[in-house]
A = this chain, B = another copy of it.
Amino acid sequence: MTNLVGHTETCPRAAESGPHTLDGLIERRARRQLSEARGSIEPVLRAAVASLADPLDRMAGYHFGWCDADGAEVEAAQGKALRPALTFAAATACGGDLDHAVHAAAAVELLHNFSLVHDDVMDTDAFRHGRPTVWRIWGETNATLLGDALQALALGVLSDGVPERVTSEAVIRLARATVILCRGQYADCAFETRENVTVEEYLSMAAGKTGALLGCACALGALCAGADHRTVSAMHTFGCEIGLVFQLVDDAIDIWGDPALTGKPAHSDLIHRKQSFPVVCALTSNTGAGRELARIYHARQPITAARAARAADLIEEAGGRQRTLGRATAALEAALEALPPEVAAADLTALAHLVAYRDR
């Protein structure tokens, strides 16, 4: 399982992972974990959101895909629930009772959604799961307030529901992850106005923007299960590395994924001149292809679909695809190696597999 992301011929997903292969079985297992995690935390999420009072509760319900903008119930697409699934998987790995991890799992999901609501404002993203984003309906001020409230709910739910003996450490961990997440988002925004970003700067940004909360999600699961410090710390490392895999695969999918599967326009990152990992690798490759990419990226004229397609070819030619998949494979290996041999790692590795292999 050390070469999951190494399929350099196609997009990261292994073309051969049909429903009856080992990969297919692992994927099904992981998808069941996501679905169960979503179901388990929903009552806690709904109770927390109800405490917001109108209209913040309605805005949150809309964002979570429970209702339309007027509050009428709908069945809209929802988030994957990867973070709460990681919390439960880490608790399971440490022999914990899942009931003790429900509030921690709900807390990381609330925290994740605080960051999504604010990121949508900052990045002026118009759609999420195919629906207009919160700020587009209620305005930037109210979206900011909703995000603020979701962050507070996350910490409140955590403190209210994790086993008393770990409350302090759990809150400190989630608060610290939030600060690191803000730093990562700061760096990501700052990259947009910079011509050159180093590989190290990118990795530090991704560790903040994606790694910190996934690491925290795993650490909290272990903490709620009563694991010792060494194990909690190992779980944190596992989650941080999985976060890096997640971000790298995300970057690769934008360029080489199938828009029909992702539901997003092709080469969106390239058109927006994002400093994604393949781009950073190509721009710093000191190759002819890298220099041509730099001319496209730094030119004043807009990057059209045709120029983005050319950029994608140049990135591949400059080694950007290979380095991205190589780095993702290394992170996946580091994640799996971080797991202590005595933990029951099947759920965690299934989720790791899903993160690495996903095609959307």
Contact = CB atoms under 8 A, between A and B. Distances in A.
A122 interface: yes
Contacts of A185: 145
Given A167-B168, A176-B156, A189-B141, A182 B149 contact: yes
26 contacts: A52-B179, A52-B182, A53-B183, A56-B182, A122-B141, A142-B189, A144-B144, A145-B182, A145-B185, A145-B186, A145-B189, A147-B148, A148-B148, A148-B178, A148-B182, A149-B179, A152-B178, A152-B179, A153-B179, A155-B171, A156-B172, A156-B175, A159-B167, A159-B172, A167-B167, A167-B168
Interface of A: 51-53, 55-56, 114, 118, 121-122, 141-142, 144-149, 151-153, 155-156, 158-160, 164, 167-168, 171-172, 175-176, 178-179, 182-183, 185-186, 189
A148 B145 contact: no
Contacts of A153: 175, 179
A186 B260 CA distance: 39
Given A56-B183, A153-B179, A164-B168, 14 more contacts: A144-B144, A145-B185, A146-B182, A148-B148, A148-B151, A148-B182, A149-B178, A149-B179, A151-B152, A151-B178, A155-B175, A156-B179, A159-B172, A160-B172
A247 to B, nearest CB: 18
* CB-based closest 9 A-B pairs: A156-B175, A152-B178, A159-B171, A149-B182, A122-B141, A167-B168, A152-B175, A155-B155, A155-B175
Nearest to A124: B141
A145 B147 CA distance: 11
Contacts of A156: 171-172, 175-176, 179
Contacts of A160: 168, 172
A168 B103 CA distance: 13
